[in-house]
Amino acid sequence: MSARAVNGLPPVRRRPPAAPASGPPGVPAPRDPGARAAPPRAGATLLAVEILGLGVDICEIARMERALARHPTMRGRVFTPEEIAYCDSKARPAESYAGRFAAREAVIKALGGYRGKSWQDISVTRAPTGAPAILLEGNAKRRADMLGVTRVLVTFTHERTNAVAFAVAVGP
């Protein structure tokens, strides 16, 4: 069959059909057994852990800004001195406060909730690399120990209007 112009458009050149996939549609082809995986980057380790809980939370930054302005004692009741120093050093402190508040709520969810909550039982500290890390004390620590949680991993982000945090409680 030769290509010909249709409705004044130039002819379309067709590519030869691709080789058939070795598996069902949408399933990637098996990896070449001779191929080698890329070596891990320096300092990277893969640890086998058991995920014991997940939590996610979102906090509206403007709402945190209003709460901090309306309740002057909120900073000291909810956040640790380390968190206050960090957040207040930022150009827009409410973003950082909202991220840390969302992180607390996400950790509470990852632990399945617990009785006798004190806001400062859960705090966000910073690892030497600058990555956020969760520090548990009091009833939050007791709840984590009861569940076999050895570490709570956290990540959070903020943009113009919201801060979101995701926590993963892991065990040995």
The closest alpha carbon to 160, from 86, 23, 62, belongs to 62
Residue 151 corresponds to which amino acid?
R
Say whether pTM exceeds 0.85.
Answer: no
Average the pLDDT over 111-131 and give the result. Answer: 92
The single-letter DSSP state of residue 115 is S
Give residue 40's pLDDT. 57
Give the pLDDT score at 16.
60
> What are the structural domain ranges in the chain?
50-171
Q: What pLDDT score does 17 carry? A: 59
Render pLDDT for 2-52 as a digit per residue (tens, 0 to 9). 555 555 555 656 656 555 555 555 555 555 555 555 555 666 666 678 999
Q: Name which CATH class applies to 50-171.
A: alpha beta
